[in-house]
Amino acid sequence: MAKVSIYLNFQGNTAEAFNFYKSVFNTEFSSPMMYMKDIPAREGSPKLPENEMNAVMHVALPILGGTVIMGTDMLESMGHKLAVGNNVTISLEADSKEETDRLFNALSTGGSELAPMRQEFWGYWGCCLDRFNVRWMFNFPNQQ
């Protein structure tokens, strides 16, 4: 089933923020918090510095009415700088890879690809900034 989530970026305090949100909404994380050190090594990718290994890679928390907020820590070693405008992203999970591609192509037209659609360890993923400067993330999870 297709769904929409709100993705939040932080500069090193995702765990603190999400533990706060968890107490506010009285809910539990959808799955355990994943850290950068948990990411499978990718050939040709630089090794993260030790101080970023415990940064949050991904966390998800249901809040109200089926809405889920997700979050990650931005990494200085990869040139990520938190700023108003890149701290919130609308995350779309379509029902098919084809629909994921259609949405990505439509929303990136006249905008810019921040990360072209590609296969990642969790599924098919990409990100763009539309022509109105709204950030969109696209996910089609690996099928079990």
Quote the distance between the C-alpha of residue 98 and its chain's center: 20
Rounded to 5°, angle at Cα 138 from 24 and 136? 70
Q: Render 14-28 in DSSP notation, one character per residue.
A: HHHHHHHHHHHHT--
Close Cβ partners of 102 (under 8 Å, ≥ 6 residues apart): none
Q: Which two tokens stand for residue 91?
A: 């995350």
> Residue 55 has what pLDDT?
94
Ramachandran assignment for 59, one of left (phi > 0), alpha (psi -120 to 50 degrees), beta (any other): beta
Q: Is the pLDDT of residue 27 over 90?
A: yes
Mean pLDDT of 108-129: 92
Which phi and psi (to 5°) does residue 17 adopt? Answer: -65, -45
Which phi and psi (to 5°) does residue 29 adopt? Answer: -60, 145
Q: Which domains does the chain have, with CATH numbers?
A: 3-141 (3.10.180.10)
- Residue-wise pLDDT for 42-61, tens only, equals 788 778 889 989 999 999 99
Average pLDDT, the chain: 90
Mean pLDDT of 92-103: 93
Longest dimension (CA), the chain: 42
C-alpha to C-alpha distance for 92 and 45, rounded to whole angstroms: 26
